[in-house]
Amino acid sequence: MKVVLLSSSSHALPQELARVLTEEGVECVVLALRAPSLEDLLCPGYGGSVVTVEGSKDKVKNLSALMFRVSELAIVGESLVHAFGLWPFGVCASLVRSLAFVPYLLSVGSEVSWYAKLEAARGLSEAVLRGAYRVLVPTKTLSRELRRGFRIGRRLVEVVPCSIGLERFVSPPEGSRKRLGVGEDDLVFLYVGETWYTSGLEQLLLAFKRVSTEVSNAKLLIATPGVAREVKSTVRRMGVERVVVAECVPELELPHYYAACDAFVYVNPSDLVGRRVLEAMACGRPVVAVRGGAAEEYVRESGGGLVVKPFDVRGLASSMLKLARSEEARASLGASGREWVLKLPSSRQTAKRIIRLYEKALVDSLEWAV
């Protein structure tokens, strides 16, 4: 069995999954669409085959290039495609299926809520979702959002926890504060994620400004896999001190950031995946999260943090102060979150579950072709 995993070069999860699948005897190829500004972010944790296609702003060119490479890689023997994201990867997989009867699984994230609201894209998105053998989502929150936005059956959607690769966060590395230039006496709040969600980050900056007036050793660390010029500009404009912005942070460096912090703050209510929250919990860090996304689901199920309303600066500052003032609360909430994460399926268990879906997809596609 051969699996082609379609993704962007900045998406580490397909490569993490491919690493485990390869260990289980599955032949894998990661076919990545390389964004020019993110070409150095390929996760080095996967040592197998990675084929990259140069990305551009022309989506039609991207789709054509991907289809050509998928045709070369997948239309041989018992092959299938696992696409990460609706566009262009899911569309590509759907077209290859219609032309060459190659089945595909589709893993989707927060982008589905945007496509559901976009009238011009809803019909195509729905066709891509319905054409998949299974649509894999990491949270119950995303499953509900998906079925609310599109006319697809409940049986098509399968919740598979986003636990691949979490093992490397379970044992926080030593010496991380020194490595990142953080003082041993600093009380560090951390945000990890994309920085395009500027409204949430402004809420965080305003809340931290309140916290820093009452906690003299408080520090806010913002880490992002991309560039963060706008965030740096916002920090200067708002006059918030003791904020450090780290940009272009490689995936393998993230355990040091979690290890260096005292608490993790996540302020994006539209994130229906919440991978960064799981990573922080795995490191035993308490979480402050806003309502409305995967982060709320994780915090409520684990008891590993505090939940506040979106855009409630006062409430966010109050929760951050509660953690800043109580080492006992930080330790208790962090331990609860870590314990819950450790009970999630391991990378190997998740991979075996996905392999069973691959096998069923191949068998069913052969029966359908006959």
pLDDT at 245: 94
Q: Which residues contact 176 (CB under 8 A, 6 or more apart)?
A: 182, 255, 256, 257, 259, 260
Q: Please check whether residue 221 is in contact with residue 261, taking contact to mean a CB–CB distance below 8 angstroms.
A: yes
DSSP letters for 137-182: ES-HHHHHHHHHHS---GGGEEE--S-TTTHHHHSPPTTHHHHHT-
- Rg over CA atoms, the chain: 21
pLDDT at 40: 43
pTM: 0.89
Burial (0-12, 13-18, 19+ Cβ within 10 Å), 355: middle
pLDDT at 177: 96
d(CA 153, CA 40): 39
Buried b (16+ CB within 10 A) or exposed e, 192-208: bbebeeeebbbbbbbbb
Q: Please check whether residue 39 is in contact with residue 250, taking contact to mean a CB–CB distance below 8 angstroms.
A: no
- The strand ranges marked E within 24-178 are 27-34, 49-54, 79-84, 104-107, 135-137, 157-159
Half-sphere exposure of residue 316, counting CA atoms within 13 Å on the CB side? 25
| Domains assigned to the chain | 2-166+346-369 (3.40.50.2000), 170-342 (3.40.50.2000)
* pLDDT digit string (tens) for the chain, length 370 residues: 889 888 876 667 787 888 889 888 898 888 877 654 444 444 445 555 667 676 666 666 767 777 777 777 766 667 899 999 988 889 989 988 888 788 999 999 988 888 888 887 889 999 999 999 999 999 999 999 999 999 998 899 999 998 888 988 998 889 999 999 999 999 999 999 877 666 688 999 999 999 999 999 999 999 988 778 888 988 999 999 999 999 989 888 999 999 999 999 999 988 999 999 999 999 999 999 999 889 999 999 999 999 999 989 999 999 999 999 999 999 999 999 999 999 999 999 999 999 999 999 999 887 655 4
Q: Would you state the torsion angle of the CA atoms of residues 86, 91, 94, 100, taken in this order, to the nearest 10 degrees?
A: -140
pLDDT at 307: 98
